[in-house]
């Protein structure tokens, strides 16, 4: 299934894409796509529903983030060898873990709003996963059983806040609109091999990033298992898993986002995003 949230900011309703790509409103079955609604039992109830009997949503409606109110928005850094090289950082021996504030989350086509004084905002296409059942100290073999589905994330980053201001990376990762999520949450059963998906990102129509999840240093299953040793992952938590090479910081000379730039990005089977920088 492809789960969506549609409508104006703060008033999004839950929906599912039908076989013709139209959104069907499922608010009669689930209030919102938050933690409890992503459990295996809840997802099975949605699978068993008669989508044709549910209201169809008009075309062109705004899409919000495909998950509402995650308790934690966790990120993994330097998870592709070439990105570690272009960042002039050592290849990690264990996953690099940091957080993005949940308040950074926005819809897949919402504007990215740079703060006054921002000079080094950068792009990062990533595959994210959403926890469906709580996970604590789980094995790698069982890790993905705790995942409800996968989605596209643009881990927009203000590099000067991230790198030049001391302390933790969260400062450069958490500005409002710096975490576009969606367009859909694609349930795990629809992805044959999550470690064989292509990723790409363009800025103003020029290709910047091309990669594949097959090139990850740490697989998605490893990441879930690893994180679960240190914290209890809760339903609805979002984990974004690192970006392939091609970020602005790694260009020669470094090239960052400007107001008016347009980012388009996508992942095989998970849809596409488009943001204008304001």
pLDDT of residue 28: 96
Q: Which domains does the chain have, with CATH numbers?
A: 2-53 (no CATH), 73-276 (3.90.850.10)
Q: What 3-state class would DSSP assign to 189?
A: helix
pLDDT of residue 65: 98
pLDDT for position 84 = 78
Q: What is the pLDDT of residue 103?
A: 98
Q: Could you read off the pLDDT tens digit of each residue along the chain, which spans 278 residues?
A: 999 999 999 999 999 999 999 999 999 999 999 999 999 999 999 999 999 999 999 999 999 999 999 999 999 999 998 887 877 778 889 999 999 999 999 999 999 999 998 999 999 999 999 999 999 999 999 999 999 999 999 999 999 999 999 889 999 999 999 999 999 999 999 999 999 999 999 999 999 999 999 999 999 999 999 999 999 999 999 999 999 999 999 999 999 999 999 999 999 999 999 999 99
Q: What is the predicted pLDDT for the residue at 85?
A: 81
Q: Residue 156's pLDDT is what?
A: 98
pLDDT of residue 218: 97
Cβ atoms < 10 Å from Cβ of 251 = 13
- The tokens 């470690």 sit on which residue? 195
pLDDT at 83: 81
Q: Tell me how far apart the alpha carbons of residues 90 and 16 are, in angstroms, rounded to a whole number.
A: 42
Dihedral sign (CA 253, 259, 261, 265)? positive
Q: How far apart are CA 277 and CA 119, in angstroms?
A: 12
Long-range contacts of 40-48 (CB under 8 A, 24+ apart): 40/132, 40/133, 43/1, 43/132, 43/148, 43/187, 46/1, 46/3, 46/16, 47/1
Count CB atoms within 10 A of the CB of residue 36. Answer: 13
């Amino acid at each position: 299934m492809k789960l969506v949230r549609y409508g104006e900011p703060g008033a999004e309703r839950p929906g599912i894409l039908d076989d013709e790509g139209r959104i069907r409103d499922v608010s009669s079955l689930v209030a919102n796509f938050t933690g409890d609604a992503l459990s295996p039992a809840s997802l099975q109830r949605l699978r068993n529903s008669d989508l044709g009997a549910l209201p169809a949503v008009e075309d062109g409606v705004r899409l919000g983030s495909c998950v509402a109110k995650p308790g934690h928005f966790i990120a993994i850094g330097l998870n592709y060898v070439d990105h570690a090289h272009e960042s002039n950082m050592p290849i990690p021996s264990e996953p690099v873990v940091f957080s993005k504030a949940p308040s950074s989350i926005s819809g897949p086509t919402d504007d990215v709003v740079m703060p006054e004084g921002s000079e080094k905002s950068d792009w990062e296409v990533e595959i994210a996963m959403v926890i469906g059942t709580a996970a604590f100290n789980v094995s790698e073999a069982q890790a993905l059983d705790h995942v409800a589905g996968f989605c596209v994330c643009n881990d927009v980053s203000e590099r000067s806040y991230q790198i030049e201001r001391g302390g933790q990376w969260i400062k450069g990762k958490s500005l409002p609109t710096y975490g576009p999520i969606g367009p859909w949450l694609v349930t795990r059963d629809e992805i044959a091999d999550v470690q064989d998906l292509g990723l790409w990102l363009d800025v103003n129509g020029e290709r910047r990033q091309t990669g594949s999840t097959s090139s990850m240093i740490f697989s998605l299953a490893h990441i879930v298992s690893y994180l679960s040793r240190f914290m209890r992952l809760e339903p609805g938590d979002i984990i974004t898993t690192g970006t392939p090479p091609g970020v602005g910081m790694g260009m020669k000379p470094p090239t960052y986002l400007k107001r008016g730039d347009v980012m388009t990005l996508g992942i095989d089977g998970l849809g596409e995003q488009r943001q204008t920088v304001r």
